[in-house]
Amino acid sequence: MLQDIHKKLDELYPEMVDIRRYLHQYPELSFQETKTAQYITDFYEDLGIPYQKNVGGNGVIATLKGGNPGKKVALRADFDALPIQDEKDVPYKSKIDGVMHACGHDGHTAQLLMLAKTMKMFQDDLPGTIVFLHQHAEEYAPGGAKPIVESGVLDDVDAVFGTHLWATTPFGVLQTSKDVFMAGPDRFEITIQGQGGHGGYPHQTKDAITIGSQVVTQLQQIVSRQLDPLETAVITIGQFEAGNAFNIIADKARLVGTVRYLKQTVQEQVMNEMEKIIQGVCIAHDASYSFHYEKGYPPLVNNAKEAEVVLEAAQEVDGLQTAEEVKPVMAGEDFAYYTMEKPGAFFFTGAQKEGHHYPHHHPKFDIEERAMPIAAKTLITAYFKYQEK
């Protein structure tokens, strides 16, 4: 039956592309995806597959019960976009100013919808039950996965699988891990309050820019000199805002950034060391500060058994030349909440477009659309493999 399913997915590829490109033109930001959610529910309504809407927010859960007994397995796709202006010169460019599918979630949705359409045709012979899990708000903490888990709709699910179309991984390559796969992404904001004044009289001021610059430099010492060299962490300052004129010494600086980590003990150590450094630098310059640290998603940890199921499934998918285990990446994913509650695995489906090397979250981001049926085939093959375990 799997060969017939794969063949049908190939036949539905043009429709898969049409859906992806339509969604690409009409993106919606995290927690605002009402029209996208309605598009998904209308699709399941037309298919005659039962669904629940507004799950944990804008989430949509559709359930296809097969004609034969078996396990209940969830397959997940996210559907929110990002606050980025689309700069691609393509017919399917975003029509929403300042909003763009710059991470491939439009493709995730298209492939899962086409997989649902395919499996409806094979429902009578299907073992077990497929849960088509369409999740909102992956891009912005607290995210959509946590409230979906807390809603209880997945309580009776045996396992969960998901994939990300990964634009920096070559087409035809699958990547996963049997342990930690993606980092925990946190956010922080530092405000330094000094004392402004005339640019020619620095001795009468407390320069927030020079103080903030020292904070930036000193924070990098945490990873290089405070952490065990065998541990992994990243501290990045993404915003540094201060001053409004060339001849005025700024009285206030605002620094915003992210911390990435793989272990909770490292997260706690980084938080503590950051506080000490910020406090110490500000004391030395007689300035005050505020430090707000926001914990994001936990690290995504795959279950070894389910990751092995994915690797086995990849061997049966045409178009995949390589299936490999890789070291963790420092991007984050709220799929982590699913594998904290249920056995499961997440994997990357290579979707690098030839001659197009823009990364995720870039204004010219795009994917190799031929990766979509490969992702769908791998998900459903993993589903069948899991039924046999």
Annotated binding site for Mn(2+), which residues? 103, 105, 139, 164, 361
Structure tokens at 14: 């043009």
Structure tokens at 106: 């439009």
The residues with which 173 forms a beta bridge, in sequence order, are 322
Given the residues 106, 138, 186, 273, the one annotated as active site: 138
**Beta-strand relationship, 173-176 and 322-325:** parallel
Residue with tokens 């309050």: 193
Residue 18 a catalytic site member: no
Which among 32, 89, 40, 164 has a CA at the least distance from the CA of 356?
Answer: 89
Which uninterrupted H or E stretch holds 240? strand 233-242
The annotated binding site is made up of 103, 105, 139, 164, 361
What is the C-alpha separation between 294 and 311, in angstroms, rounded? Answer: 35
142-172 b/e with 16+ CB inside 10 Å = b?
bbbbbbbbebebbeebbbbbbbbbbbebebb
What is the C-alpha separation between 219 and 293, in angstroms, rounded? Answer: 14
Amino acid at 176: T
What is the C-alpha separation between 11 and 8, in angstroms, rounded? Answer: 5
What is the C-alpha separation between 23 and 15, in angstroms, rounded? Answer: 12
Contacts of residue 328, Cβ cutoff 8 Å, sequence gap at least 6: 177, 180, 181, 182, 183, 232, 262, 299
Given the residues 28, 78, 80, 86, the one annotated as active site: 80
Structure tokens at 158: 């045996």
Structure tokens at 272: 């503590």
SS3 (DSSP) at 300: strand
Residue 325 a catalytic site member: no
Residue with tokens 């699958």: 174
The residues annotated with a catalytic role in the active site are 80, 138
